[in-house]
Structure 1
Amino acid sequence: MSILSRRDAARLSLSAAATALLPAAAGAQGTFPDRPITFVVPYGAGGPFDLIARVVAERMRQDLGRPVVVENRAGAGGIIGCASVARAPADGYTILLGGLTTHILMQGAVETLPFDPIGDFAVASLLSKTPLILAANKDLPVTDLASLVALLKASPGRYTFASAGNGTSGHVVTQYLVDAVGAEALHVPYRTSAQATTDLLTGRIDFMVKTTAEAEPMRNGSIRPLVIFSDTRAPALPDVPTLAETGFNNVVRYNLEPWQAIMVRRGTPDAIVARLNQAVAATAADPATRRRFEESNLVPFAGSVADGEAYFVAENTRWVPIVRGMGLIGR
């Protein structure tokens, strides 16, 4: 009869203890959630992404049976909010509204991010797409994209465009357009899209990219829409031509459509990620929620956990080399 060493006995004891804990751990995950969930929006209140989050949070609450509390943590184009989630426990109780801007475009706009976009985050579910529209102050003497380009070329560096921050989709798309047509314009970054829009309305800023979720001032004539960066026209603004229809698609080769997703800390248990995905799927299938999306001119864009992860990686592969090649840092 062999005699166990103290080390072997300790290993067996630890193994037995770990095995005994497995059912309890499985049960704990099975009861997710058992307390409120914090839903971080890395942008200011009142903007299009805040609207998305609040609609989704209310419907997720119904499915999960626990409050889903939206917290706006704005600043640095979304970096501040994302960094806070990257430091949160990987337990599914802190989720993030992330996407193309926060996790991909930002890689070309700052020297070093305080988080690893893919290493620190996983997609629980894709959520929506938001087509972009280039719009000008109504008093700017332009009527379409061609006249804007002519104006910029005639007075290099005189005119300004706004964004919600360096590396945001508005910054990247507009700078890409300006560079591609051989023009110059001054970029003015703001803390939030709402602040930038206020200055666009008053004429302090000449033009900027807006989302279709912000269509009302373009519909009522407060600002002038010029072109949509999408393959099709937007139902909310049917008179706004696509880039291809303007003839500039041979110069500006990329339609950039921001997408949004529910993200969690990578390492969150698969069962919890699947439960969050299930809640988002129920949200996307809900007729009332779909109507809210349509009213806000958002395109629902859900899918499985695997779908979200594959799309996340593919978009990273596609866009990061482009934005890093644009030399956006300091522009």
Structure 2
Amino acid sequence: MKQSLRIVLASGCALMTLGTATAFAQEWQPDRPINLIVPWGAGGSTDQVTRVTAPILAEALGVEVVVVNQPGASGAIGTQEVLNAPRDGYTWTANAIANNATYSVTGLLEDTNIDDWHIYLSVANVPVVSVPADSQFEDFGQLLEAFKSDAGRGISVATAGVTSSGGTAIAALSDAADGFDYNMITYDGGGPAAIATASGEAMVTTQLAVEQTELIRGGRLKALAVLSDKPLDLDGVDPIPPVTNWLPDMPLAPDYFGIFIPAGVPDEVIATMDKIWAEQVMNSEEIKTYAENFGAVFAPSYGEEARALAMPVVILEACSSVERGEAVNDPSTIGIDCETRTEVGM
């Protein structure tokens, strides 16, 4: 991988984590297309990696995997559609796992948590703070000072919504800087938010690197910082400095993306998907190439390993929403103790 950003991924034996029921279930042979709902607009981070992954799954299953964009309510509308669908294995979703795990904390969905999903992760993504190419801000320090000044509340930030990666990123930046105001402008996806910023509709975007890469390479966006403790290298542009150069104590956690199947589907669906993920996705050159070209980290996993990898960002986002006064339900309702920042039994 050409980028200098490195995320230490937990080692695990994913092939050893299959439950007894799925380990001995017969192979699933779907007889009609599978509906894969992306609850965000076209061109965003979820949409991008899903459209790279779907053909791999379709070839392995022998049926079409139809990607359907159904944006709205920070991904909650499309996610609810999947939860409402018959649990027959023919309706899946794709997202950042932290969204699916914390929708009930933010009140966008009720009575749902990470264990309502079989988790299949493909990449980890990082937000980047960028401004239009002709912006007055030349580095993140200048932007940070502007945010912290009286003029900060007038700085417009384009995101895909409060619970999107960009929305949580700007909120986390404000938290780390002891609080500043801003004017969030919401779009149907991270791609549209990045394009809007490049066009001058907003002064800043904090969406993911994968949603901004082509605009940065094309000179339409100026990247000021990556939300990481290491720089991000993208071919054709100068390394993007880490936000810890300015906010050294900012909490950071990898943001994992993938495909999720609702709990309650037949065992053979999960057994088959586990096998495909292990044999096809975890060795996919297509996804590796996508990650290397767009500033993501190739990080496929599934089952209990994927759940363990996801929990740090789930805990961070759930507890941060409490600190910002945005939580509708306490994270304890999904088994998270924010005093200790740990997962507890439910």
Q: Same fold (TM over 0.5)?
A: yes
RMSD: 2.5
Structure 2 Cα separation of the partners of residues 267 and 218 of structure 1: 42
Q: 1:122 aligns with which of 100, 118, 123?
A: 118
The letter for the 2-side match of 1:239 is P
Where do 1:311-330 residues align within 5 Å? 311-313=309-311, 315-328=313-326
Q: How far apart are residue 313 of structure 1 and its match?
A: 4.6
The letter for the 2-side match of 1:171 is G
Q: 2:193 aligns with which of 193, 196, 200?
A: 196
Q: How far apart are residue 171 of structure 1 and its match?
A: 0.9
Worse overlay, 319-328 or 68-77? 319-328
TM-score scaled to structure 2, two decimals? 0.78
Q: Specify every segment of 5 or more residues in structure 1 that has no aligned partner in the other structure, as ranges.
A: 1-25
Structure 1 Cα separation of the partners of residues 47 and 108 of structure 2: 26
Q: Specify every segment of 5 or more residues in structure 2 that has no aligned partner in the other structure, as ranges.
A: 1-22, 329-346
Q: How far apart are residue 205 of structure 1 and its match?
A: 0.9
Contact 2:128 2:227 (C-alpha < 8 Å) held by counterparts = yes
Equivalence for 1:175 = 171
Equivalence for 1:59 = 56
Equivalence for 2:77 = 80
Q: How far apart are residue 119 of structure 1 and its match?
A: 4.7
Q: How far apart are residue 177 of structure 1 and its match?
A: 1.0
3-state SS of the aligned residue for 1:303? strand
Contact 2:122 2:281 (C-alpha < 8 Å) held by counterparts = no
TM-score scaled to structure 1, two decimals? 0.82
Structure 2 Cα separation of the partners of residues 239 and 318 of structure 1: 26
Structure 1 Cα separation of the partners of residues 175 and 131 of structure 2: 18
**Cα separation, partners in 2 of 1:101 and 1:76, compared to 1, 3 Å:** farther
Structure 2 Cα separation of the partners of residues 258 and 316 of structure 1: 9
Q: 1:268 aligns with which of 265, 268, 282?
A: 265
Q: How far apart are residue 249 of structure 1 and its match?
A: 1.6
**Cα separation, partners in 2 of 1:228 and 1:305, compared to 1, 3 Å:** same
Worse overlay, 43-52 or 310-319? 310-319
Equivalence for 1:16 = none
Greater gyration radius = 1
Contact 1:163 1:187 (C-alpha < 8 Å) held by counterparts = yes
Q: How far apart are residue 29 of structure 1 and its match?
A: 5.3
The letter for the 2-side match of 1:93 is Y
Q: How far apart are residue 292 of structure 1 and its match?
A: 3.1
The letter for the 1-side match of 2:248 is N
**Cα separation, partners in 2 of 1:203 and 1:101, compared to 1, 3 Å:** farther
How many residue pairs align between the two structures? 300
Q: How far apart are residue 115 of structure 1 and its match?
A: 5.3
3-state SS of the aligned residue for 2:257? strand
Q: 1:160 aligns with which of 148, 156, 162?
A: 156
Contact 1:97 1:262 (C-alpha < 8 Å) held by counterparts = yes
Worse overlay, 197-206 or 163-172? 197-206
**Cα separation, partners in 2 of 1:180 and 1:202, compared to 1, 3 Å:** same
Are residue 240 (structure 1) and residue 240 (structure 2) matched?
yes
Contact 1:167 1:328 (C-alpha < 8 Å) held by counterparts = no
Are residue 136 (structure 1) and residue 131 (structure 2) matched?
yes
Q: What's the % identity of the aligned pairs?
A: 24
**Cα separation, partners in 2 of 1:263 and 1:115, compared to 1, 3 Å:** farther
Q: How far apart are residue 298 of structure 1 and its match?
A: 2.5
Contact 1:59 1:289 (C-alpha < 8 Å) held by counterparts = no
The letter for the 2-side match of 1:241 is P
Contact 2:130 2:221 (C-alpha < 8 Å) held by counterparts = yes
The letter for the 2-side match of 1:66 is V
Equivalence for 2:9 = none
Equivalence for 2:297 = 299
The letter for the 2-side match of 1:140 is S
Q: 1:207 aligns with which of 194, 204, 207?
A: 204
Structure 1 Cα separation of the partners of residues 147 and 134 of structure 2: 15
